[in-house]
Structure 1
Amino acid sequence: MIVVVFKYLVPKGYRGLTIFPLVILKARNSKADAILLQHERIHLRQQLELLVLPFFIWYAIEFLLRWMVLRNRHQAYREISFEREAYANEKDLHYLQQRSIWNFLNYF
């Protein structure tokens, strides 16, 4: 995991963004936020499992479908299976050591 701070790449309203192998943070003080970094580590694992590009395609399609149904961009984002897994387990700093492969499917 390579952590960089570059506020102009992170969309408004978000604190971080993961594009394998980078974790891009909006603010320097976020480097000390263990929960945020765990959330982003979960996304790194998801991206590796799907060989990166398919992850982003799946992510975009799932977001668009959920946005069409929910008609709320933020709610659609929070309902993406990748995000649901990351938010549900970001406080468990040992989660990735016990996580089974493709576990995000349990959140679909």
Structure 2
Amino acid sequence: MILIVNKRLLSGRFKGISLWPFVILQDKRLKKDEFFLNHEKIHLRQQLELLVLFFYVWYAIEFFVRYIDCRDGMLAYRNISFEREAYRREHDLSYLKNRPLWAFRKFL
């Protein structure tokens, strides 16, 4: 995981984004936020499992489908299976040690 701090690359809604192998942070203080970093590490693992490119394709398609369903961008984002897994497990700092392969499927 390579951390980059650059608030200009992110919109005001998001504190960070994982773009394998990078995690772009809006604020340098986030480097010390264990739960935030765990959330982003979960995304990095998801990206590796889907060979990076397929992660982004799946993410975009799932966002589009969920947006059509609810017509709310933030709600659609929060309900993407990758995000649901990361948000639900971000406080479990040992989650990645025992996480099964393709665990995000449980959150579809």
Q: Aligned equivalents of 2:57 and 2:6: distance in 1?
A: 24
Q: Aligned equivalents of 2:73 and 2:90: distance in 1?
A: 22
Query: Considering only aligned residues, what root-mean-square deviation do their CA atoms show, in Å?
Result: 0.5
Q: Aligned equivalents of 1:10 and 1:42: distance in 2?
A: 19
Q: Which residue pairs with 2:4 in the alignment?
A: 4
Q: Percent identity between the aligned chains?
A: 51
Amino acid at match of 1:20: W
Q: Which residue pairs with 1:71 in the alignment?
A: 71
Q: Any stretches of 5+ residues in structure 2 without a counterpart? A: none
Q: Which residue pairs with 1:82 in the alignment?
A: 82
Moved over 3 A (4+): none
Amino acid at match of 1:63: F
Q: Which residue pairs with 2:94 in the alignment?
A: 94
Is 1:57 matched with 2:83? no
Amino acid at match of 1:93: L
Q: Which residue pairs with 1:42 in the alignment?
A: 42
Q: Aligned equivalents of 2:23 and 2:67: distance in 1?
A: 25
Q: Any stretches of 5+ residues in structure 1 without a counterpart? A: none
Q: Aligned equivalents of 1:10 and 1:23: distance in 2?
A: 11
Q: Aligned equivalents of 2:17 and 2:11: distance in 1?
A: 8
Instruction: Report the secondary structure of 1:23's partner residue.
Output: strand
TM-score where L is the length of structure 2: 0.98
Instruction: Report the secondary structure of 1:4's partner residue.
Output: strand
Residues 47-81 of structure 1, C-alpha deviations (whole Å, 9 max, x = no match): 00000011001000000110010111100000000
Q: Aligned equivalents of 1:100 and 1:24: distance in 2?
A: 26
Q: Aligned equivalents of 2:15 and 2:61: distance in 1?
A: 22
By how many angstroms is 1:9 displaced?
1.3
Q: Which residue pairs with 1:103 in the alignment?
A: 103
Residues 19-46 of structure 1, C-alpha deviations (whole Å, 9 max, x = no match): 0000000001111100100000000000
Instruction: Report the secondary structure of 1:11's partner residue.
Output: coil
**Pairs aligned (count):** 108
